Amino acid sequence: MTFSEDVLKGEELAVVRLRSLYSRYGYTRFGMSKFEEYELYSRNKSFLPSGNIITFTDAGGKLMALRPDVTLSIVKAAPGGGPPRKLYYSENVYRPLHNGREVRERMQVGLECIGELGIYDAGEVIMLAERSLETIGERRCLCVSHMGFLGGLLDGAGVGSEQGAELLKCVSGRNTSDIRRLGEEYGLSDEFCENLAELASLYGPVGEKLDILRSLSINGVTDAALDELEQTYLTARRLGAGDDINIDFSIVNDMNYYSGIIFQGFVEGIPSAVLSGGRYDKLLRRFGKHAGAIGFAVYVDLLERPGGQSGKLDVDVLLLYGEDDDPLELAGAVRAIAEGGESVRATSEAGDTRYGRLLSLSEWRSANT
């Protein structure tokens, strides 16, 4: 039996395409339960997008949680070393809304590469992230940053962890005035503050901005981070990634978990990031595993929300009928329209359906007699 992509919703079609893409590059599917022991998440709350976790007690009295994240489950099951293990998943995650009384079920598709990683592995993941965006949007952008470069700058200037966290908030918000204000408050040099402010404002194609980043590098740590960033980018391009990969150091993640390249992806028509990922070796260390890890998640549920793919139609033809219309005639009209190659929905009222053209059964009758 064959099927047409036309019958799939944006979310469903994205899942099919993404799974096919990852399989093509040797990633195997990882399945998991909807539940995990609450302790897994309570020990790593700061790694989660939201600290709120939905819990329940199982029949044995153990405190369990609806899965709010996939990466932690994969890391928990991953080996401690050896050749890279390449996995992909398509799973729902469950997170409370801000009011705390409702639960949102979100579909995620993503991949993880865990083991003894090299530049090739990171480049492959960046390429697959960019290709993932290509499958769901004609106009897209993958923005990359590097936590090692940021960490090297802060350490080189003697910035403490609490002060560094405040400065990183300013970098994330591109708030250059507060960077300078905090720098003066912390007794940091004018040169460091200006460099950090320039970094916060820097945006553009990787190939065009590397020389500027080199001018901001201050030690071996930052040099090594830029070498890694450049080689990963070149590898991704050689693997087929497009030229829509940009430097953006306003992308910041928790330094307790992320140690290298981090990135976010955007497509036209959706106001928030539809893809997020990075290298998180430090998370594996927390599990006692000495290996590297890099991966990302695609939030495919955003494709079906208001503001996401707003131009996508529910149906080509909305066929309206009344209570006195002959159901057999209606059935014939629906069959004729569908077999003519258009999608059709028969209904007594339009409601909020997005359609290409509106047709009443009497209009169809007149056009076909």
pLDDT of residue 3: 44
- pLDDT tens per residue, range 181-202: 999 999 999 999 999 999 999 9
Which strands form 203-205's sheet, in the order they lie side by side?
28-29, 85-96, 103-115, 292-298, 275-279, 261-267, 140-146, 245-248, 203-205
Q: Given a cut of 50, is residue 300 above it in pLDDT?
A: yes
- pLDDT the model gives residue 7: 45
| Measured distance between the N- and C-terminal CA atoms of the chain, rounded to whole angstroms | 34
DSSP assignments along 221-244, one per residue: HHHHHHHHHHHHHHHHHHTT--S-
pLDDT at 210 over 80: yes
Could you give the percent of the chain with pLDDT greater than 70? Answer: 92
Give CA separation, 69 vs 23, 110, 143, 201, in Å.
22, 11, 22, 31
pLDDT band at 212 (very low <50, low <70, confident <90, very high): very high
What is the pTM (predicted TM-score) of this model?
0.79
Listed range (174-178, 218-222, 307-311) with the worst mean pLDDT: 307-311
Q: How confident is the model at residue 54 (pLDDT cuts 50, 70, 90)?
A: confident
pLDDT the model gives residue 166: 95
Q: How confident is the model at residue 313 (pLDDT cuts 50, 70, 90)?
A: low
The secondary structure of 259-292 as a DSSP string is -SEEEEEEETT-SS-SEEEEE-HHHHHHTT---E
pLDDT at 158 over 80: yes
pLDDT score at 98:
57
Bridge partners (DSSP) of residue 55 are 65
Bridge partners (DSSP) of residue 298 are 109, 275
pLDDT, residue 305, reads 53
pLDDT at 93: 85
| pLDDT mean over 131-160 | 92
State the average pLDDT over residues 158-162.
92
- Per-residue pLDDT tens over the stretch 88-126: 999 888 877 655 566 777 888 999 999 999 999 999 999
Q: Which domains does the chain have, with CATH numbers?
A: 5-148+221-304 (3.30.930.10), 315-367 (no CATH)
Given a cut of 50, is residue 223 above it in pLDDT?
Answer: yes
Alpha helices in the chain (DSSP H): 10-24, 38-42, 71-77, 119-136, 147-156, 161-172, 176-186, 190-201, 206-216, 220-238, 281-286, 327-339, 361-367
pLDDT band at residue 309 using 50, 70 and 90 as cut-offs: very low
Write the CB contacts of 184 (distance below 8 Å, at least 6 apart in sequence): 193
> Predicted confidence band at 220 (pLDDT cuts at 50, 70, 90)?
very high
Residue 311 has pLDDT above 50, yes or no: no
Q: Rounded to an integer, what distance in angstroms lies between the CA atom of residue 55 and that of residue 288?
A: 26
pLDDT at 159 over 80: yes
Position 314: which residue type? D
* Selection from 40-44, 210-214, 358-362 with the highest mean pLDDT: 210-214
Average pLDDT over residues 45-59: 78
Beta strands 140-146; 85-96: pairing state:
unpaired
Place of tokens 């497009």: 242
pLDDT of residue 307: 45
Which range of 53-57, 106-110, 234-238 scores highest in mean pLDDT? It is: 234-238
Q: Mean pLDDT score of the chain, rounded to an integer?
A: 87
Using DSSP bridges, classify how beta strands 261-267 and 203-205 pair: parallel, antiparallel or unpaired: unpaired
